[in-house]
Chains A and B, each alone.
Chain A
């Protein structure tokens, strides 16, 4: 008898909590490393958060905290969210990886999602975007549009994600023009308009006639516009900075991913994973192809469609490393593990990779 009452109480408690869950909105919380109006990385994440907030209506409330330094402060900011009743916490900088893992251990009922890292746990997912797919497309466009056969690349930090981008760009270009060359300048910053502009000028003076960047300010686009050459936008559509200059831009569209993952929490289907979405999932999109002849545009659209369908993998052999040794055999595609730890250039990069 006692047992039965206990069972009934338990059942009631479970039903009660389940219906409470259905009524309460899921709380999604975001920890940003920069300012949400930085015009680049953090802003792209915040636009994703706002999309989730608007499109998912009453089912979701969102919170955020910005300008959190990586280190001891990050752990506090993440834990503050975890203990304040957030159901899912997105931490959007690589340096938040270990703090996220540490806090997640203490709060097993809260879901965590960490961007651009490699560690996961039962309640921690790692997510990233296959930016390199977009880089391959813009590489092809660059090779078609360039007269000198040399492009300039303004790079931030020599981490695998950036190295992937450089290699994918060059492989795309070489698929059009096998002799295409690439010059790289490292500015050691994600956002520094002054340094980026200087790098752009230096590259143009060295004879490049097309620019691309893995940094977040619009300064290179503006320099390219002044000097009358073409360039590609990064993270956001930068067409306003160079209406006659931008060919296309690789736009981070995190909203699609955030909505998918928050919905999984609502449905109770959330599971830990290593997520690395690409063009086909809508986590990155190409800005309109402009300022180029129709045949180049047609080629870019065709490549984009092939990458989405899985017909084309940007890292497909034969590919040699910069030192001339074979990396990928004919027809072989790179595995994700190698890409995630990429610390070498492919053949044709006119630069020594900082180690």
Chain B
């Protein structure tokens, strides 16, 4: 006997909506089993992971700091993926946004006025978009696989940043350590509220989510994106250019990744370092899919992943759990989401086999 996936002729609207919640529920159940097996109180562990990050003003601010880049990048990627353009290089676009945006305070530290910050943000977005232009150009001009080119450009961007902060952009007063000078006060993205360090990056993230949600559901461009993804042939008959769509998707997702990069550097780190991202660009791919490629969904998915990071840290300290547990958790979550989605579109069928060799193998 073997298993086969059979396409369902129609799928339930109810389960389409419920699926992420079922996935989260399954993650919680299996998480509880996991904790019980390693000898921790499941209720306490789950509380620390998923509730404690929401219980103080301080951790809410930290949650905003951690989730904002994931949401910004994830929202851009969801639109890009919807149109069947596979930008895997958001991490590199994030880094390039940080690099281009930081040019003002590092190369021209004496220019200190209120125009510096807006300029940095524009340059950050331009840097991310320009870097995303490369795989889009290669795809449309030479038919290269954008998954490979965009991914490989990540490493190029990381090494470029590494070279900059060890060489030309190294802090002249920094005892030759590999980091840039710290930004002057006009180059720092301010905090939104007095009560904590959440900066305007969080506001940008919410605005991006709203903007993209409107774009997708209310505009012709949004329709064009959906057609490009679901029925490219119909799109061509409709007069939509696939090449233009590729550029649009890459430039937009690149610009948002760049905005996340400059926001992180200017708001949270306040200097360039050899590494400025703990993998936001890659985690955001998970966020985009967890949010079902829907900007509003991405908002919640980003917050959920942020919670699991913060909760994981707290669990390390309070319960003495390894940080690997956080990764296992995130892995389970993604696994269950994808499994639930698959089961909405397909049903599992048991096929009994009549091949004698296989039948014998079963005995």
Contacts and interface: CB of A to CB of B under 8 A. Distances in A.
A83 B313 CA distance: 14
Interface string A316-355: 0000000000000000000000001111000000000011
Nearest to A74: B269
Nearest to A341: B175
B313 A71 contact: no
B268 A72 contact: yes
A354 B178 CA distance: 12
Contacts of A76: 62, 65-66, 310, 313
A167 to B, nearest CB: 14
Nearest to B159: A188
A98 B175 contact: no
Interface residues of A, number: 33
Nearest to B167: A355
Interface in A92-130: 94-95, 98, 117-118
A157 interface: yes
Contact of B273 (A71, A77, A79): A71
Nearest to B310: A76
A296 interface: no
Nearest to A29: B317
B172 to A, nearest CB: 11
A80 B314 contact: yes
B275 A98 contact: no
A133 interface: no
Contacts of A94: 177
Contacts of B275: 69-71
Contacts of A73: 66, 278
Interface in B299-334: 310, 313-314, 316-317, 323
Interface string A63-91: 11111011111011101110110000000
Contact of B317 (A63, A98, A160): A63
Nearest to A67: B323
A158 interface: yes
A64 B317 CA distance: 6
Contacts of A157: 166, 178
A298 interface: no
A99 to B, nearest CB: 9
A66 B326 CA distance: 13
Interface string A150-161: 000000011110
A66 B177 contact: no
B270 interface: yes
B276 interface: yes
A98 B278 contact: no
B313 A80 contact: yes
A94 B165 CA distance: 15
Contacts of B21: none
Q: Which of B62, B176, B269 has the most CB of A within 10 A?
A: B176
Contacts of A118: 175, 177
A67 B270 CA distance: 22
B66 A71 contact: no
A71 B317 contact: no
Contacts of A95: 179, 273
Interface string A41-83: 0000000000000000000000111110111110111011101
B140 interface: no
A72 B264 contact: yes
Contact of B278 (A66, A71, A158, A354): A71
A3 B229 CA distance: 79
Interface string B74-110: 0000000000000000000000000000000000000
B157 to A, nearest CB: 16
A88 to B, nearest CB: 15
Interface of B: 58, 62, 65-66, 166-167, 175-179, 182, 197, 264, 268-271, 273, 275-278, 310, 313-314, 316-317, 323
22 contacts: A63-B317, A65-B316, A67-B323, A71-B268, A71-B269, A71-B278, A72-B268, A75-B197, A76-B62, A81-B317, A84-B317, A117-B177, A118-B177, A157-B166, A158-B166, A159-B176, A160-B176, A340-B175, A341-B176, A342-B176, A355-B166, A355-B167
Q: Which 9 A-B pairs have the closest CB atoms?
A: A72-B268, A69-B278, A341-B175, A343-B176, A67-B323, A76-B62, A65-B316, A118-B175, A71-B269
Given A77-B313, A98-B270, 20 more contacts: A63-B317, A65-B313, A65-B323, A66-B323, A71-B264, A71-B268, A71-B269, A71-B278, A72-B66, A72-B264, A76-B62, A76-B310, A76-B313, A80-B313, A80-B314, A83-B58, A95-B179, A340-B175, A341-B175, A354-B166
